[in-house]
Homo-oligomer: A and B are copies of this chain.
Amino acid sequence: MDQIYELFNKIKDKQPLVHHITNSVTINDCANATLALGGRPVMADSSNEAAEMAAQSSSLVINIGTLAEETVESMLKAGKAANEKGIPVIFDPVGVGATAFRSDSAKKILANVDCSIICGNMSEIRTLAGLPSSGQGVDSGDSMEGAEALAKKLASELKATIAITGAIDVVSDGEHTVRIQNGHPMLAKLTGTGCMTNSLIGVYAGTDNKPFEAAAAGILTMGLAGETAHQNLRANEGTGMFRVRLFDAFSTLTVEDLKKGARING
C-alpha cells in the first residue's frame, strides 16, 4: 500500500479543505481530527450555503448521526454540487436502520449523490445492502462474518469504495479488497471515533482523489492512533486521557509510524 504513504506525504502541501455536514455530537472532534492530520475543516449545514461551500472544498463528508429535515436537504444540495465538480464525497451512514427517518434519508442520499466512499459499521452497511441487521442506536449488533464479500458486492453495485469498520476493518472498491487489523478496543469507549475516521478519510480523499487508498489510509490512521494512544496511557488513566492521546497521535504520526505499524492484508 505504498499509495497510502504517498497520500500521507502529500497532505502538508495540499492542506485539503474538508467540508462536513455532520452531527452535533462529534462535530468538534471531527474538526480537530481534520486539523490534527493536516487538513482544514469547514462545517456549513444550512441549505442556504451548503452547496456553495461544498463547491469550493477538496472533499465533502456527509454524516447522518443527528439528522434534521433541513440537513438532509443540505446534504443533497452539497452532494450534487460536489459531484458536478468531481469533488469526492464520503458518506457515514450513522445509525441507519435504527429509524425509518435515517433509512429513508440514507436512501435519498444514495439515490441522488454519487458517493466515492461509504464507511460504516457492519449493521449500517448491512442495512444499506438491504440485509437484515441487528444494530442498536448507533452501535453495530452484527458479527463481521462475510464482511469482505459484502463490501466487495456493495462496492460493485454502488460503484463506490465500501469500508466496514470493526475489530478487523475491511475496505473494497469491488476489485481490490484489504483487511486492516489495526485499532484498539478503547476506541469503542469514545464517542465519534467512527465519525472521525470519516473525517480522516476526507483529508486523504481531499488530498488526492483515490477513494480506495483514502479509505484504507483513514482507517489505518485511526487504528494506529488508537494503538499509540493506548500505549501512552499510565495507571489509572481512562477514556479522558485516551482521547487526549488520540489527538496527540493524529498530529504527530509520521509516515514511518504508518509503515512500521500497518497491519494490512491485501
Q: Which residues of A contact B (CB under 8 A)?
A: 17, 19, 23-29, 31-32, 35-36, 40-46, 48-49, 52-53, 56-57, 65-70, 95, 98-102, 136-139, 189-192, 232, 236-241, 243-252
B98 A53 Cβ-Cβ under 8 A: yes
**Chain B residues with CB below 8 A from A191, complex form:** 28, 31-32, 35, 41
B49 A251 Cβ-Cβ under 8 A: no
5 interchain pairs, CB-CB under 8 A = A32-B191, A41-B137, A46-B67, A68-B70, A237-B248
B252 A247 Cβ-Cβ under 8 A: no
A243 B245 Cβ-Cβ under 8 A: no
A66 B52 Cβ-Cβ under 8 A: no
B137 A17 Cβ-Cβ under 8 A: yes
* Interchain CA distance A65-B31 in the complex, whole Å: 12
CB distance from A226 to the nearest CB of B (A): 13
**Chain B residues with CB below 8 A from A43, complex form:** 23-25, 65-66
* Interchain CA distance A249-B237 in the complex, whole Å: 8
**Chain B residues with CB below 8 A from A67, complex form:** 44, 46, 48-49
CB distance from A40 to the nearest CB of B (A): 6
Q: Are A25 and B25 CB-contacts (below 8 A) given A240-B251, A250-B238?
A: no
A49 B102 Cβ-Cβ under 8 A: yes
A137 closest partner in B (C-beta): B42
* Interchain CA distance A36-B68 in the complex, whole Å: 27
B98 A56 Cβ-Cβ under 8 A: yes
Q: Are A66 and B44 CB-contacts (below 8 A) given A239-B32, A241-B244?
A: yes
B40 A69 Cβ-Cβ under 8 A: no
B99 A52 Cβ-Cβ under 8 A: yes
* Interchain CA distance A102-B42 in the complex, whole Å: 13
- The interface centre, meaning the residue of A101, A139, A239 with most chain B CB atoms within 10 A of its CB, is A239
* Interchain CA distance A240-B232 in the complex, whole Å: 13
